[in-house]
Amino acid sequence: MNPAGQASRIEPEDFEARSVKPSGVLCPNERKHVIAVVASLTVSLTIFRLELLKRLAGAGHEVIAFAPERDPRVEQALAQIGVRFVRIPMARTGLNPLDDIRTLWSLHKHFKRLKPDMILPYTMKPIIYAGIAARLLGVKERCFLVTGLGHVFSDAAGHSFKAWVIRHLCVRLYRLALRGAKVVFVYNEADAEDIRRHRMLQDNQSPTMIPGSGVDLDHFTFSRPPRGGPVFLMIARLLRDKGVVEYVEAARILRRSFPDAKFQLLGHFDSNPTAISRDEIDGWVREGILDYLGTTEDVRPHLAACSVFVLPSYYREGIPRSILEALATGRPVITTDLPGCRDTVHPGENGMAVRARDAAALADAMATFAKHPELAEKMGERSRKIAEARFDVHAVNGMLLDSLQLTD
């Protein structure tokens, strides 16, 4: 890893310059690995990691994916690319120590049997418990993907004594898990700074920054926004931290001046402490403020049908995948001026970044597109170019493989 200080940043052009021979063939690495990828949500293996898993398996590495839920469609998709699936017990949220001990014991048992050469967990609980289990077993190549430090490290977690105790405990667990890591990837400088500030890594280590999980530009194709009244779309887990309440309040404000505007919400209910209830959603729908679109396995038709994408999140994001998908589709983005979210927007070029928890500021930004509908197409074209230049999933995966010292 890199010396302590500012997190090193890998960009697509860096990967191309450093990792490709003059012939255009990646530098060879004869030894194949057994690689354990650990997730806290089974469906995330195909939503966020499918192209990476496909690339690792296609290079001849034995890839084993661990996650808590049975999902036949995910398991079938993984099997088709040669990735094994192992179910483990894991409570994605909650603080029950018995649940977490079961997770640690299960990972330790499976790692001992399968003998991975490398682990690559992502999100908090997989990082902590896979990291500790792998350290106990002496797995040398322990690599971690911090996709966002999450609710515990967000302002929304509060500043009470209980919040401080939980955060302090998580820091101690992170230190145990990350000690001696080969590489720790982060998506934004704020997460890198928190990792340094809380001394989660040893003094001679520093995180490596990559631009999110990337987006498949062939799967999320460019389209021009529909004509007519503005259609605003928010896609997110139904959490207060994601800015759902502010989005609803902004919609309520805009309806007074722009009755033809549409406000759509797509996302699933969650067990997170800041979850929005179904009764709240139903109440907003009855009030006529928004259309709740439920959940879907394919967001592309909904992105194509909207004119502006909105994510007023104050959750501790890495780089939101939903925004990357909107960029690739060619939609302007309104989001918050907070770590992760602001990394996707060039204000005035492909969207706007507003203050978090400020429904009035959000409404003002949305009103700009209602008053000037031509901006949706102009800024949407810029969004697509940003996605192509920085967030192409194949370039991002190339950076990961380069740092992991794996090859195709």
pLDDT 10s digits, 386-402: 999 999 999 999 999 99
Q: What is the pLDDT confidence band of residue 20, given thresholds at 50, 70 and 90?
A: very low
- pLDDT of residue 13 exceeding 70, the answer is no
Question: What's the confidence (pLDDT) of residue 193?
Answer: 92
Query: What are the extents of the domains in the chain?
Result: 8-214+392-404, 231-390
- pLDDT of residue 162 exceeding 90, the answer is no
Q: What is the pLDDT confidence band of residue 225, given thresholds at 50, 70 and 90?
A: very high
pLDDT 10s digits, 41-50: 999 999 999 9
Share of the chain above pLDDT 90, in %: 79
Select the more confidently predicted residue: 20 or 10: 10
Question: What's the confidence (pLDDT) of residue 398?
Answer: 95
What single letter denotes the amino acid at residue 44?
A: S
Select the more confidently predicted residue: 311 or 190: 311
Average pLDDT over residues 187-201: 92
Q: Which fold has domain 231-390?
A: Rossmann fold (3.40.50)
Architecture of the domain whose range is 8-214+392-404: 3-Layer(aba) Sandwich (3.40)
Q: What is the pLDDT confidence band of residue 8, given thresholds at 50, 70 and 90?
A: low
Question: What's the confidence (pLDDT) of residue 163?
Answer: 79
Question: What's the confidence (pLDDT) of residue 75?
Answer: 97
Domains 8-214+392-404 and 231-390 share a fold: yes
Question: What's the confidence (pLDDT) of residue 161?
Answer: 83
Point out the least confidently predicted range of 97-101, 109-113, 264-268, 288-292.
97-101
pLDDT 10s digits, 56-113: 999 999 999 999 999 999 999 999 999 999 999 998 776 788 999 999 999 999 999 9
